Amino acid sequence: MAQALTIHDLTSGWSFRQTDDPSEDAWLPVARVPTNVHLDLIDHEKIPDPFLGFNELKAEWVADKSWAYKTMLPEIASQAEGTVTVLAFDGLDTFATVKLNGETILVSDNMFIPHRVDVTKKLKPGSDNVLEIDFASARLRAIEIKEAHPEHVWVGFNGDMARLAVRKAQYHWGWDWGPVLNTSGPWRPVRLETYHSRIVDLRIDYELDSNLKSASGTVTGKVEGLSGKTVAFVAQIEDNVVFKGSADVDSNGIAKVEFHVNEPKLWYPHGYGAQPLYKVTATVSTGEVDLHSATRRIGFRKGELVQQPDDIGKTFFFRVNGVDVFCGGSDWIPADSFTPRVTAEKYRKWLEMMVDGYQVMIRIWGGGIWEEDIFYDLCDELGVLVWQDFMFGCGNYPAWPDFLQSIREECVANVGRLRHHPSIVIYAGNNEDYQVQEQFGLTYDYEDKTPENWLKSNFPARYIYEKLLPEVVALESPHVPYHPGSPWGDGLITSNTKVGDMHQWNVWHGTQEKYQIFDTLGGRFNSEFGMEAFPHIDTIKYYCTDPTQLYPQSHMLDFHNKADGHERRIATYLVENFRTQTDLEAFIHLTQLSQAEALMFGYRGWRRQWGQKRFCGGALVWQLNDCWPVTSWSIVDYFLRKKPAYYAMRRVLAPVAVAVKRAHHDWSVVHARVPKSSNFELWVASSQLEEVTATVELRFISVATGKEIKESITKKDIKIAANGTTDVLSGTIDNVNEEPHVLAARIWIDGEIVSRDVDWPQPLKYLGFEDRGVEVYSRGETILVKACRPTKGLVFEERAGVLVNDSAIDVVPGDEQVIRVRNLAADDQPLRWTYLGRT
């Protein structure tokens, strides 16, 4: 009689060893699979924690060794005829030879391809079946492949260019924010499955009608095993069944039903609507016995990438269910150098932090990993839009036939795995590979549409991005737009501001422009930009194992900043804008304020441009997170400690955000002369889908005295445009007769202050911040902040487990601010705080 599928998760009972140590006592126990060899070596104190001090150097040898993992398979009871037993490997990192009882059953060279091996006839009766996986050195193998192909042009940014030859997470070779920790091992689950028949794939294809009032489509189950005769399909939301049906399995193993849902509950990104998810289940049976069920959660939504000619060039923005969405958000790198230890709880904290910060989109960067299922599940639940890069980053990738075949298998497997997620709204072919083509002068004739010619050029990877990958997306996930690369726009130079997306690195890198003009440097969609900042002092003290190294320019602190030229770049932006400090905590604060200011100037201006005929469709900061404790462009560090920039972004991305800005005057190219006058503008950005009525106030407050230098302006009953920008007022500052002062704006809706903005004379280093008269009162779940004189960048301590809803705030007289705080017990010490210029 046919039996249902059973699964043995092979998580425990493993051991590992260095393969060139043949002794039996070389085998050491493994705490848990999935794993990386570094985690197991750390557990056995064979290497020190590479995140501490200079220990990364002490772990380098690991990458040049081969490693073996083995386990005894559980006993499999005698099986009925027709039973299949399979070993399933969701991910092997990377050059893996799998043996069962000494016989090779699989050879793999791509960490992103899952494998299934039928071992029905290879298992011995009983419980003495030994599974062993040998992992060769990916670093050394990559070098061998590179040296065997001198005809290819091996160029790119970051790491050893031999990495381009290997289908493995590229950041394992080191990046300008991450260590060189080249891992190996069974990095994703290993299972032993027995079954008569199973659902191999469950696919839901649908279309919404033009008025979004009904959904029609097909549900397809792909079945393996001759015992499966029929498949029953059911879809429900909560406890309500919305459709059910069944179909016989045809000769190709396919069962398919059509469906129709009236008045479907539509899925929206957070802030624009709800995130209802339908559970679709397919159950294959003999007709009498259920053999296996598979489930997918889907959301009904119509997603569009709108690229239409306009006055400037061509738009680039996202529309969901007919609603234009400004995609303010972040770029995402792997959350750890050793991803098997990233828990579902940690993924949830990261993504909930994005939602709390009003960030709508996350871009999964192409030099990392195809993320875990839980990541996309959480994005579906929380309403975070996903920009998914294919796993190519900063290089000229080869394209010989077996490499292309491996890429195709990898991408079919992963796009198929992810196709049901409503959160995924774009696939992009690579990260910055077209920039590599430009910088190194590789051949790219966009008018040549013959793929065979591309393969013969010195930029053969074009074949991957403009033929192979779009074919995969069209086949596996046709409802999601495909974009050849990030950045890319119609085959034009990647710095083009009129079409496509762009990475704007002329603040920090490149020409090192003033961050005050960030908004003038953007394009139609700014998918990367950023500014470095030190992490909080507790993070630095965690990795800095030598207390004598706790100063800003120390060797150990420099070692935990992998960016080229970071010393001169940080110094440039600090010297230009702030009175420099050498005390470590004061220096940290300055770098964090520099980052917060830079990102604020960018997001604030680009969001305004959204309301100006969708000139800017979105902005994604590089980067949300870190993979280890480091100074980088992240706005939240490895331990989930938020930098001030997180809060600055939150304020300018709020549902309704007031903004005030005086015209930029570049002090450093005019001998520090102050202009006789400066124009200013005040506007309101809103993502609300309906017009709202508001009151807006603008005050002019002396930096030195805290007194208002002239009468404030109040505009009542202003109509704030829906999903756009409303210009409120403008004026001129008399820099000759008026003392230096801030422009302090507030906006009320229904009697409640919903947003503030303070514009300061630039640069801040010219201003005195003595005797600000700041008072901070901790009152249980709130903190009251007030000041006698304008105060810049008041930040609170980032204490583990304690959450504040705002920080890095500007405080002006007559405007007390109430900060909400969670998880601070009555007997806990109040949060420490500081501000710019505090002595």
Share of the chain above pLDDT 90, in %: 94
Q: How confident is the model at residue 743 (pLDDT cuts 50, 70, 90)?
A: very high
| The model's pTM | 0.97
Find residue 75's DSSP bridge partners. Answer: none
Does the pLDDT at position 672 exceed 90? no
Token pair recorded at residue 836: 């710019």
pLDDT band, residue 21 (cuts 50/70/90): confident
pLDDT of residue 259: 96
d(CA 74, CA 432): 46
Amino acid at 540: I
Q: Is pLDDT larger for residue 78 or for residue 558?
A: 558
Measured distance CA(112)–CA(167) in Å, rounded? 7
**Contact, 310 vs 252, CB < 8 A?**
no
Among 149-158, 645-654, 670-679, the minimum mean pLDDT is found in 670-679
What pLDDT, in 10s, does the model give residues 90-143? 999 999 999 999 999 999 999 999 999 999 999 998 878 999 999 999 999 999
Which residues does the annotation mark as catalytic? 432
Tell me: cis bond preceding 487? Omega within 30 of 0 counts: yes
CB-based contact 354:635 (threshold 8 Å): no
Q: Which two tokens stand for residue 546?
A: 């030598």
Summarize the confidence of residues 751-764 as an average pLDDT.
Answer: 97
768-785 pLDDT tens trace: 999 999 999 998 899 999
State the distance between the two ends of the chain, measured CA to CA, in whole angstroms.
Answer: 81
pLDDT at 670: 77
The pLDDT tens digits of the residues spanning 587-618 come to 999 999 999 999 999 999 999 999 999 999 99
DSSP secondary structure letters along 1-63: -----EEEE--SS-EEEETT---GGG-EE-S-SS--HHHHHHHTTSS--TTSTTHHHHTGGGG
Exposure of 470 by Cβ count < 10 A (0-12 exposed, 13-18 middle, 19+ buried)? middle
**Strand order, beta sheet including 323-325:** 303-306, 317-320, 323-325
- Of 822, 679, 703, 837, the residue nearest 758 (C-alpha): 703
- Residues ≥6 apart with Cβ < 8 Å to 144: none
Reported confidence tier of residue 55, pLDDT bands at 50, 70, 90: very high
> For residue 163, what are its two tokens?
């990495």
Residue-level pLDDT at 3: 83
CA distances from 124 to 80, 119, 680 (A): 16, 10, 80
Of 590, 560, 559, 553, the C-alpha closest to 575 is: 590
DSSP state letter for 64: G
pLDDT of 337 above 90: yes
Please give the pLDDT value at position 668. Answer: 84
HEC profile for 634-699?
CCECCCCCECHHHHHHHHHCCCEEEEEEECCCCHHHCCCCCCCEEEEEEEEEECCCCCEEEEEEEE
Task: Identify which of 537, 660, 521, 657 has the alpha carbon closest to the alpha carbon of residue 587.
Answer: 537
Q: Which of 282, 372, 279, 290 is nearest to 334 (CA)?
A: 372
What digits encode the pLDDT tens for the residues 109-122?
999 999 999 999 99
Which pLDDT score, from 0 to 100, does residue 464 have?
Answer: 98
pLDDT reading at 78 higher than 80: no
Is the pLDDT at 80 greater than 80? The verdict is: no
Q: What mean pLDDT is reported for the chain?
A: 96
Instruction: Say if residue 671's pLDDT is above 90.
Output: no
Q: Which DSSP string corresponds to 202-266?
A: EEEEEEE-TTSSEEEEEEEEEEESTT--EEEEEEEETTEEEEEEEEE--TTSEEEEEEEEESPPB
- Each residue's pLDDT tens digit, 685-738: 999 999 999 999 999 999 999 999 999 999 999 999 999 999 999 999 999 999
Check pLDDT > 80 for residue 79: no
- Phi, psi of 64, rounded to the nearest 5 degrees: -95, 5
Helices 469-476 and 401-418 pack at an angle, to 10 degrees, of: 30
What's residue 8's pLDDT?
96
pLDDT level of residue 417 (50, 70, 90 thresholds): very high
Distance CA 379, CA 372 (A): 12
| pLDDT tens-place string over residues 795-816 | 999 998 899 999 999 999 999 9
Q: Decide if pLDDT at 416 tops 90.
A: yes
Q: CA 745 to CA 9: how far, in whole Å?
A: 58
Q: Which two tokens stand for residue 803?
A: 């959450």
pLDDT in tens, 213-262: 999 999 999 999 989 999 999 999 998 999 999 999 999 999 999 999 99
Q: Please give the Cα distance from 661 to 515 (Å, whole number).
A: 14
The CA distance from 325 to 423, in Å, is 13
Residue (of 714, 716, 721) closest to 692 by Cα position: 721
- Cβ–Cβ contacts within 10 Å for residue 209, how many? 11
> Is the pLDDT score of 1 beyond 80?
no
